[in-house]
Amino acid sequence: MKKLTMLFGLFMTPFYVIAADMANGADNFYKSDKVTVEKVTFKNQYHMNVVGNLFKPKGLDLKAKSPAIIVGHPMGAVKEQSSNLYAQKLAEQGFVTLAIDVSFWGESEGQPRNAVLPDVYSEAFNAAVDFLGTRSFIDKERIGVLGICGSGSFVISAAKIDPRMKAIATVSMYDMGAANRNALHHSLTLEQRKKIIAEAAEQRYAEFTGGATKHTGGTEHKLDDNTHPIQREFYDFYRTPRGEFTPAGSSPDKTTHPTLSSNTKFMNFYPFNDIETISPRPMLFITGAEAHSREFSEEAYRLAGQPKELVIVPGAGHVDLYDRVNLIPFDKLAAFFQANLK
C-alpha cells in the first residue's frame, strides 16, 4: 500500500492508493482450460434454491461413475471467491466438483440477503450431496466436502449428521460460533458479548416495524493508519481487484457484511461439539503457519476422531490460502480425496 497526500486548499488530506498484492501466484479468478463449467440449481430440504458451478474434467466419461467434491466459500463471500479456484484445481485432478453459494448469499435463495442461519448454511452442503448423488455420472458412495474459512465449520456441522460425506477437508477454517462468542484467542469478554446481543435484539424491533436492515462485521471499505492488520489482510482480497466480486443484484457496500440482527445466531453454533462422531470418516485440516485463524484448525484437530491430519503451511496467513496458488497445497488435497474417495 502506498500512502499519498493531495493538497485541497489549505488542508492536507491523506488518502490511499491500493494495489492488489498478487504475490505467490494469487489467482482467484483462475479459468482452467482443462475443465467445463455448468451453472446448476437445486432445492435444499426447505425448498430454497441453492446455486452452484459444476466443474467436470474435459473428456469425462459420463457413462462411468466419478467421485465428486463439494466446495464451500469463505463466510460472507460467494462461490466466485476462492471456491471456484479450488473446485477447478481439483477438477483438473479428475474429480467432478461443485462450488456452491450457501443460502442467503450470492445466487442462492434466502431473505433477507446476508442473513445468518448456520443450520441452513450447513444444509446447503447436505442438499449438494442430494444433487450430486442423484446424477447418473456420480458415484454417490464417493462424495467429499471441502470448506474454506467459515464454510469449514459449516461442512463439519453438515458431516456430523450426513454419513454420505465420505471425506471432509477444511482450509483456513473459522469456527464461526467460537469466533462470535469469544473472538480470536478468547479476547471477547462476557459483558462485551452481552452488549452485542442486546444491540442485535433491539435491532429486531426496528426491522419488525419496517425499519431499515442494518449490517455488521465484514471487511472495511477504507483503510487508514489505524486499520487493524487482520482487516488489512481481508481488505487486500475483498476490496481490490485481487478478489473483489459483487454478484448481480447485490450492493458492493453489503459484500461480506451479515445482517446485525441475525449475526448473533452464530453464538448458538457449536460445530465442534461431537466432531469425534464423524470418525472413521477421514478429516484433513489445512491452515497457515501465520494464520490468525490457526487456533480453530488446531482445536478441531484436537477434538476430532481418527483418522485425521493437520497440515500447517509455512509462511501462509489466513487469506493467503484463499487464492495464492504457490502456497495452497493442492497436491495434498488431491491426494487426500484420491485416497479416501477411491
Read off the pLDDT of residues 82-121 as tens digits, 9 standing for 90 and up. Answer: 999 999 999 999 999 999 999 999 999 999 999 999 999 9
**CATH value at residue 278:** 3.40.50.1820
Q: Which residues pair with 54 in a beta bridge?
A: 38, 98
Q: In the predicted model, what is the mean pLDDT of residues 244-271?
A: 95
Contact 144, 165 (CB under 8 A): yes
pLDDT at residue 339 tops 70: yes
Number of domains the chain contains: 1
Q: Which residue range(s) make up the domain with 123?
A: 2-340
Question: For residue 124, what pLDDT is reported?
Answer: 98
CB of 122 closer than 8 Å to CB of 154: yes
Q: Which residue has the cell 487456533?
A: 295
pLDDT band at 249, cuts 50/70/90? Answer: confident
Residue 2 has pLDDT above 90, yes or no: no
**Average pLDDT score over residue span 199-219:** 97
Quote the pLDDT of residue 327.
98
More confident residue, 229 or 1: 229
Nearest to 170 by CA among 60, 329, 10: 329
Q: Which residue has the higher pLDDT, 132 or 13?
A: 132
- When pLDDT is averaged across residues 240-253 and rounded to a whole number, the result is 93
85 vs 88: CA distance, rounded Å: 5
Distances (CA, A) of 280 to 17, 160, 277, 338: 51, 12, 8, 17
Contacts of 39 (CB under 8 A, 6+ apart): 51, 52, 53, 54
The percent of residues above 90 in pLDDT, for the chain, comes to 93
Q: Is the pLDDT of residue 5 over 60?
A: no
Asked whether residue 4 carries a pLDDT value surpassing 60, the answer given is no
Strand order in the sheet with 35-43: 35-43, 49-57, 96-100, 66-72, 138-148, 165-171, 283-288, 308-313
Q: Running DSSP on this structure, what letter comes out for residue 297?
A: H
